Amino acid sequence: MILQLGIRILKDASQVVPQRLKPRKTPVQSRSGVTVEAIHEAAIQVLLSEGLSRLTTTRVAERGGVSVGTLYQYFPNKEALLFAILLRHFKEVAEALERVDIAANGRPLEELAESIADAYVSVKVARPDATIALYRVAGAIDQFKMSPDIHVRLVNAVVRVLTNASDASFTEPRKASFTLLSALAGLSRGSFANLASGPEILDGFREEARLLSRAYLRAAAQI
């Protein structure tokens, strides 16, 4: 079973994103970047207010204050827009993990484990509403088609941290990275599924993510 919004290493690295899911063009100027950002945010707002089944390019364009024609300049269809939003989220997670400070001489594994968890959680809880919307997108998008590059980037970010632990080593750091990220993805999805029971769920999410990361990496490492 694939963990939605989780990590998947594609066995066939040659697999590429289908043309129908690719954006028509990438913004290169600040003005076009603002337009695409407005479209992304509008799509999230429509997902939250109308639901996935009622999301259309027309509704997104209206919410974003752009014409449908402008939207189609960047995205050929609704699926491509949703795919772009999901891919952007993966990139934000990767960037957060890449910013984990390993320090010049390395840090103890327990500290690094908590830093990995904190970086992962920080992206999820920054905009809880957006994260909820993204889980709805993940249910509709075939993540097998996600660019292999982003999955490699996510795994490599954690591998970099693990290989710099001052008091531990890993015989299979890529396997440990994949497993940890998959476990954090499952914990995240479960936490946000229970968010309706109260905002304290997100506090528990952070603490449980730290516990999970420490316990798994300690068990997987050679100390």
Q: What is the pLDDT of residues 40-77, one digit of tens each?
A: 999 999 999 998 889 999 999 999 999 999 999 999 99
pLDDT score recorded for residue 148: 78
More confident residue, 52 or 13: 52
Are 151 and 15 a contacting pair, CB within 8 Å? Answer: no
Other beta carbons within 10 angstroms of residue 29's beta carbon come to 8
- pTM for the whole structure: 0.85
**Could you give the domains of the chain?**
19-220 (1.10.357.10)
CA atoms within 13 A on the CB side of 73: 13
Query: For residue 125, is pLDDT > 80?
Result: yes
DSSP designation for 143: G
pLDDT, averaged across the chain: 86
Q: Residue 47 and residue 59: Cα distance in Å, rounded?
A: 10
pLDDT for the residue numbered 142:
62
pLDDT at 7: 42
Indicate if the pLDDT at residue 105 is higher than 80: no
